[in-house]
Structure 1
Amino acid sequence: MSTFDGPPFEESAERQELRKQVAKLASKYGREYFTAQARSGGKTTDLWLEIGKNGYLGINIPEEYGGGGGGIGDIAAVCEELSAQGCPLLMMVVSPAICGTVISRYGTEEQKQRWLPGIADGTSTMAFAITEPDAGTNSHNITTTARRDGDEWVLTGRKIYISGVDEADNVLVVARTEQLTSDGQKTGKLKPCLFVLPTDSEGLEYKAIPMEIVSPELQFQVFIDDVRLPADALVGDEDGGLVQLFAGLNPERIMAAAFSNGLARYALDKAVAYAKERVVFKDPIGAHQAIAHPLAKVHIEIELARLMNQKAAALYDAGDDMGAGEAANMAKYAAAEAACASADAAVHTHGGNGITQEYGMAGLLVATRAGRIAPVSREMILNFVSMHSLGLPKSY
């Protein structure tokens, strides 16, 4: 008899029920609703608010601030099931997972009371701004700065590829402040800090970036021109540095993996259904190995990616930031690869129908491909694994 008493290799009954209920809710909307909203310039506000009303949107936020008191694994499950029903909501990654986590961890009591309840029920969305035109992957080159002016902060800089600014009430901005010596002298060095910036602030402008991805959630260039913020706009310790920033980036990778895994499942489900019903040469095309084997391979890759993401979430929720960092990067890499393979196999399975709007497969090629680039590129993940997992010399 086995005496193994380690963690189970399947999620808890509660997590499985959560997935079931989210999938049921999302299926009322589905891919047709999502693409119709995107192509008409509409938003998915109805779906977003219903997720919030049912307690799924803020499931990772502490109960005392209107959330469900769960972990990153719970909100990742919600994100994945929405994607698996054809409704991949990018702001799920940003508002409750990144911003909600950072504020829950490092915000003051007043900040938590002010921002978390709205994030939890969906009535107040928060965007996240880190990427810059001249920094890209190298976040150490961020030039958006925050300087003190009396009791205020003054922010100046530019950001790019910032999701959902038009729908957000606030943006959590990564800026840099001057480092001072113990006697108050400037060192010439800058340190990363986090600020909550209202989107109606004077001096803040944003411009939509035309994208090929079919999504109601838009990407923006953001221009921050001497925006004045009160002292309590700063989240966390001014000297907290990268630790506070990475508190949001590990959840970001876990959520990005969930996003990709859901899209991969959606594409595979559509391909399998088509392979069962489409008959050529007297048999369903799924009876032929040229169709069946690629789909079976994709299924294996998806399940492997989902397992790694389950591990990453479990490590993060257990407080193991180091272990979670490695696992989250691996999970994000594996999920993006699986999603790309799944979308490609789905298009090929559908043949000519795979590139029509009616079947909706071709758009998934762009949507899943974005997972290899954002929020961190596959090459930077390979750099991370080379250096931190294998102990190889740093290459960048």
Structure 2
Amino acid sequence: MTSPTAPPSGQLDPRLEHLLHRDAAEADRTGRITDDVLHALRSCGILGTAVPRAYGGAGKDATEINALVEQVARADPSVAIILFQHFAVSARIQEWADEEQKARCLPRLASGEWLAASAWSESGAGADKRNLSTTAERTPHGWVLNGAKAFTTGAGLAQLYLVLAQTSAPEHDTSLYGSSGQTFFLVEADTPGLTAETGMDLVGMRASATGFVELRDCHVPAGAAIEPLGQAARIIAAVRHSGATLGAVSLGIAHTAYHLALSHARKRGLSEAQAVRHKLADIAALLEATRALVERAGRRTSDDPGTTTLLSKLHATSTAEHICQEVKRLLGSSGFLSDHPINRLARDAHAVGLMGPTNHLTRELVSAQWTA
């Protein structure tokens, strides 16, 4: 039985790929990305993938970004999530920041000097980010931020945070993700008043450095705010049109799970059994269909690219969970060993569905257009 086709992209840096495979199990056990992987991530050039060439990056499009994220996720999904968030912040700066902000941030993000993270989520705010307690108030010299963020991927590792804060009272609006009166701020990790730590003991994506960011009388200059003020919901709504999708992470997980099953069947002589061969064929078909949808999202060639990106995340996450469970059944008793890689993959597959926008919110965003 042949493997599904490889993604249409350049290959992952061999040194980084080796370290990801070598350290994934240990990172999951300890809940911490290894220093070797973090150093390789910063030094191999991968962090500049989404940064335009004019600022020292590679200037890759969403198709290539998705393919690269998938390749990382095949080895370690936790690192793929860190990378995806870095790419997402890089893209938001390129799309919305002013020239001064781009010149200050993008070269550092491209070189690996800075790692970026999104600080949007809050305990009690809900998946839709519409009830923020984090505030930003004007001062004569800029803004002062107060609040606390949870579930920030890369917390404690990043040198730059894209912080979502309430700058004015929200008005009645119909947005499902974010609300009026919110503004994004670019806040450097060493800014007085900002503290970040990886303090969440997660079930899945354990090495994603997911934790807390606290802002207490955190003073930032006026140039930290991304214009237009109070219009962060517009930026959030536009994200899906980029074509970059968390479905790429799920695709990488599903790819590795499939190959675990294929290797197991060959080693145990199970590929002689028709039922096993047919089950592997069904899994391969699901994997290829998922790849096609993720690639379509990246190309942005559908009639509604934003919806396609949302659907790619929804389909890929559901499919990855399903494939992991099917592979567990094929593995038999081997899959019940706590240290078997399929159990880490299954936990990580479930975790992607809980990442923003969560699968529940994704369904709301897709289906809202049918009742508008």
1:378 correspondence with 2:368: no
Distance 1:314 1:147 in 2: 40
Distance 1:180 1:289 in 2: 60
TM-score (structure 2 length as normaliser): 0.87
Match of 2:174 in 1: none
Match of 1:365 in 2: 346
Distance 1:299 1:347 in 2: 15
Q: 2:277 aligns with which of 292, 296, 315?
A: 292
- After TM superposition, give the deviation of residue 289 of structure 1 in Å: 4.1
Distance 1:172 1:166 in 2: 14
1:92 correspondence with 2:70: no
Which has the larger displacement, 112-121 or 205-214?
205-214
Which has the larger displacement, 379-388 or 25-34?
25-34
Partner SS for 2:371: coil
Q: 2:52 aligns with which of 42, 58, 62?
A: 62
Match of 2:309 in 1: 328
Match of 1:184 in 2: none
Task: Classify 1:294/1:337 alpha carbon distance in 2 versus 1 (closer, same or farther; 3 Å).
Answer: farther
- Paired amino acid for 1:228: H
Which has the larger displacement, 294-303 or 331-340?
294-303
- Paired amino acid for 1:277: K
1:121 correspondence with 2:111: yes
Match of 1:167 in 2: 157
- Paired amino acid for 1:232: G
Distance 1:333 1:151 in 2: 43
Greater RCO (Cα-Cα under 8 Å, separation 6 or more):
2
Q: 2:8 aligns with which of 10, 13, 16?
A: 16
Given that 1:79 and 1:255 are in contact with CA atoms closer than 8 Å, whether structure 2 keeps it comes out as no
- After TM superposition, give the deviation of residue 147 of structure 1 in Å: 1.1
Distance 1:118 1:23 in 2: 20
Structure 2 unaligned blocks of 5 or more: 172-178
- After TM superposition, give the deviation of residue 24 of structure 1 in Å: 4.4
Match of 2:323 in 1: 342
Q: 1:28 aligns with which of 18, 26, 47?
A: 18
1:213 correspondence with 2:213: no
Q: 2:131 aligns with which of 112, 128, 141?
A: 141
Distance 1:358 1:70 in 2: 36
Partner SS for 1:141: coil
Distance 2:333 2:170 in 1: 63
- After TM superposition, give the deviation of residue 342 of structure 1 in Å: 1.7
1:238-288 deviation line (CA, Å, top 9, x unaligned)? 15442223344555x83311011001101111111111111xxxxx22333
Q: Which has the larger radius of gyration?
A: 1
Question: What RMSD in Å do the two structures reach over aligned CA positions?
Answer: 2.7
- Paired amino acid for 2:75: Q
Task: Classify 1:361/1:179 alpha carbon distance in 2 versus 1 (closer, same or farther; 3 Å).
Answer: closer
Distance 1:145 1:79 in 2: 33
Structure 1 unaligned blocks of 5 or more: 1-9, 182-188, 279-283
Task: Classify 1:357/1:129 alpha carbon distance in 2 versus 1 (closer, same or farther; 3 Å).
Answer: same
- Paired amino acid for 1:386: S
Task: Classify 1:84/1:369 alpha carbon distance in 2 versus 1 (closer, same or farther; 3 Å).
Answer: same
- After TM superposition, give the deviation of residue 30 of structure 1 in Å: 4.2
TM-score (structure 1 length as normaliser): 0.82
